[in-house]
Amino acid sequence: MNRYPLWKNILIGLVLFFGLIYTLPNFYGEVPAVQVSSGKATLKLDASLKGTIEQALNDARIEHTGLFTDANSIRVRVPNTDVQLRAKDAIEKRLNPDPHDPSYVVALNLLSASPSWLTAIHALPMYLGLDLRGGVHFLLQVDMPGAITKRLDATAADLRTLLRDKNVRHAGITREGNNVVLRFRDAQQRDTARRAIGASTADLQLADRDDAADDLKLVATLSQAAQKNIRDFAIKQNITTLHNRINELGVAEPVIQQQGLDRIVVQLPGVQDVAKAKDILGRTATLEVRLVDDTPGALEGALAGSVPLGTELYNERGGSPILVKNQVVLTGDRLTDAQPGFDGQTHEPAVHLTLDAAGSRIFRDVTRENVGKRMAILLIEKGKGEVVTAPVIRTEIGGGRVQISGRMTTQEASDVALLLRAGSLAAPMEIIEERTIGPSLGAENIAKGFHSTLWGFVAIAIFMSVYYMLFGLVSVVALAANLLLLVALLSLLQATLTLPGIAAMALTLGMAIDANVLINERIREELRNGATPQAAIHAGYERAFDTILDSNITTLIAGIALLVFGSGPVRGFAVVHCLGILTSMFSAILISRMLVNFIYGRRRKVESLSIGQIWKPGN
């Protein structure tokens, strides 16, 4: 009766095996590495760069232990810190020939030292939270009312243009709070206006308001859906922009996440220079539209050294130089959106830009006057500009919807759209929470958390083995398996381990032993009541199960509530706590039972169980 079928043993064995494999990477520690990431928003990392880096290292005779590519960077693992510095210099020299205008960020970094076959099966070490590794943490609040107000101001201007185009006479359009109020002299004009607005946009809800006989008003408010769109767009755009800006810091694994409806968490592990981090977070990249100077001979002259007055020489993306007029036609503030798409007629990939009302008017005037000429779209970062694209103006472009097309792949179109959106923030942000944790404090925290778990575990192990003898030992093995599975699960999920997380691990272990105590006590009780050893084991596990289930579920309820409502340290605690409850149920019930089955289940006749002294009232 105390045997598990083979499949069950194999299954438990497999779980333990995978647990072991996924726990492994945590023991290897970290080795120095050099990280290369793109220094400009317009520059993408590609496969050829990997070759270039490898070549640079080979030329300098620097040995490395592997090149790794991820979404935003390429990392080279090197044996020690001396080689790390040399490798950095070699790569820097190759990739950034001009030190004043670096195209790539080459930074020193750390990488997991676990063998590559582990990395290949996605067995990665746990991600350590800032309190364990040091770094800065910012919580940024996006100014959503600001974004809505900005949009309403733009809407007011749009409506003005619209009504003028449609020849509707009004007595003034103003933004009042969260409404745009349009005044009219007579009801007929108001009706015409309402129809015109209704036909042009679905984002506005219109309502009549008559304050006096001669004061007819139409009140436009943004619909719920439109407001939600604005908010979603603002936060997405801000996160994209932050990504681009932080990239420049060369931080290994920055965390940029949305939190709640209007907040963004930014965590920069290893960064200690808060001032610089803030500087970069607050930096603005701008977009500019200027006309290209195509005067014959001018470009050649400029390349020879004499740039004509009123123009500047830039490089177009892809390499060729281009001469651009100094006068700025439009800036990025006028851009409300940029999306990749297709040309309506030629079906070529294109980028669709949406300008606000003032921007559309300027754009229309400029394009009308410059048909046949080229127009350059520049991205200015850190005071340095680059021409993203310079299309030829074919016709006058009105209505604020601009399309850039021609010789683009779909990928390029979406890149350009991203770039055009990437420059500036959709809504202002402010830092509402900031934490800096020194690296030495982080190391200390790890040591403290580790020691408390270790000594707690040792104390429990000693007590259990003394008190319950062999069954106590089984419980200790189950508890160790629990720890193993918990760490494996955390590594697999790539959950962030924090100090409260370590505390939760310790607490969970302390609580997990409860299940085994319940079982062992039950077995003793059965023996006390005169059951045979085999029957006692069977009944002990069986009867304890209900209790274990009930008590763990109530604890899990508390854990889930913490997970739902907690943030920061509370959430870090809750994640480990909840996972720990699940693994502890598995290990306390199944693993310990399997071990006991191996020890006692095979024997025909068992005289007594090694479960410590059984005292009977009669003796």
Partner 1 sequence: MEFFRIKKDIPFMRHALVFNIISLITFVLAVFFLATRGLHLSVEFTGGTLIEVTYTQAPELEPIRTALAANGYPDAQVQNFGSARDVLIRLPNRGDLDSAKVSERTMTTLHSVGGAPELRRVEFVGPQVGKELASDGAMALLLVIFGIVVYLAMRFEWRFAVSAIIANLHDVVIILGFFAFFQWEFSLPVLAAVLAVLGYSVNESVVVFDRVRETFKKKRNMSTPQVLDHAITSTISRTVITHGSTQMMVLAMLLFGGETLHYFAMALTIGILFGIYSSVLVASPLVMWLGVSREQFIRPKKEKEEAVV
Closer to partner 1 by CB, 202 or 432: give it.
Answer: 432
CB 169 → partner 1: shortest distance, Å? 46
Please report, for residues 42, 512, 555, 575, the alpha-carbon distance to residue 271 in angstroms, rounded to integers and kept in the order given: 25, 37, 38, 26
- The first and second tokens of residue 453, run together, are 């778990």
CB 561 → partner 1: shortest distance, Å? 4
Q: What is the dihedral of CA 571, 572, 578, 581, to 10 degrees?
A: -150
CB 476 → partner 1: shortest distance, Å? 11
Closer to partner 1 by CB, 363 or 471: give it.
Answer: 471
Q: How far apart are CA 527 and CA 2, in angstroms?
A: 16
How buried is 406 (Cβ within 10 angstroms: 0-12 exposed, 13-18 middle, 19+ buried)?
middle
Closer to partner 1 by CB, 181 or 560: give it.
Answer: 560
β-bridge mates for residue 429, sequence order: 142
Nearest to 269 by CA among 242, 249, 241: 249
Nearest to 219 by CA among 227, 203, 211, 207: 207
Q: How far apart are CA 355 and CA 364, in angstroms?
A: 11
Closer to partner 1 by CB, 207 or 549: give it.
Answer: 549
CB 490 → partner 1: shortest distance, Å? 17
CB 507 → partner 1: shortest distance, Å? 6
Nearest to 219 by CA among 232, 228, 210: 210
- Is the CB of residue 124 less than 8 Å from the CB of residue 494? yes
Q: Which is it for strands 127-128 and 496-497: parallel, antiparallel or unpaired?
A: parallel
Q: Which is it for strands 104-112 and 215-222: parallel, antiparallel or unpaired?
A: unpaired
- The first and second tokens of residue 235, run together, are 């936060």
Closer to partner 1 by CB, 280 or 355: give it.
Answer: 280
Closer to partner 1 by CB, 390 or 515: give it.
Answer: 515
Q: How far apart are CA 557 and CA 565, in angstroms?
A: 12
Handedness of CA 305, 309, 315, 319 (dihedral sign): negative
CB 138 → partner 1: shortest distance, Å? 9
Tell me 138's DSSP state: E
CB 576 → partner 1: shortest distance, Å? 11
CB 437 → partner 1: shortest distance, Å? 5
Closer to partner 1 by CB, 27 or 455: give it.
Answer: 455
Closer to partner 1 by CB, 147 or 289: give it.
Answer: 147
- The first and second tokens of residue 571, run together, are 């959430």
Closer to partner 1 by CB, 136 or 292: give it.
Answer: 136
CB 438 → partner 1: shortest distance, Å? 4
The residues near 213 (Cβ < 8 Å, ≥ 6 apart) are none
β-bridge mates for residue 141, sequence order: 263, 430
Closer to partner 1 by CB, 416 or 523: give it.
Answer: 523
Closer to partner 1 by CB, 160 or 571: give it.
Answer: 571
What is the DSSP annotation of 233-252?
HHHHHHHHHHHHHHHTTT-S
How buried is 252 (Cβ within 10 angstroms: 0-12 exposed, 13-18 middle, 19+ buried)?
buried
Percent helix / strand / coil, the chain, rounded to 5 = 50, 25, 25
Closer to partner 1 by CB, 199 or 432: give it.
Answer: 432
- The first and second tokens of residue 92, run together, are 């820097």
**382 phi and psi, to 5 degrees?**
50, 40
**Residue recorded with tokens 């494999």:** 21
CB 564 → partner 1: shortest distance, Å? 7
Nearest to 312 by CA among 322, 304, 320: 322
CB 612 → partner 1: shortest distance, Å? 5
CB 497 → partner 1: shortest distance, Å? 14
CB 409 → partner 1: shortest distance, Å? 43
DSSP E strands in 39-99: the ranges are: 67-69, 73-77
CB 158 → partner 1: shortest distance, Å? 33
What is the DSSP annotation of 90-116?
HHHHHH-SSTTS-SEEEEEEEEE-S-H
**Residue recorded with tokens 């606000």:** 356
CB 326 → partner 1: shortest distance, Å? 35
Q: Which is it for strands 255-259 and 335-342: parallel, antiparallel or unpaired?
A: unpaired
Handedness of CA 604, 606, 609, 615 (dihedral sign): positive
Closer to partner 1 by CB, 281 or 285: give it.
Answer: 281
Of the chain, the end-to-end C-alpha distance in Å amounts to: 30
Closer to partner 1 by CB, 109 or 508: give it.
Answer: 508
Instruction: Please report, as a single letter, which amino acid is at residue 331.
Output: T
Q: How far apart are CA 499 and CA 505, in angstroms?
A: 10
Closer to partner 1 by CB, 195 or 448: give it.
Answer: 448
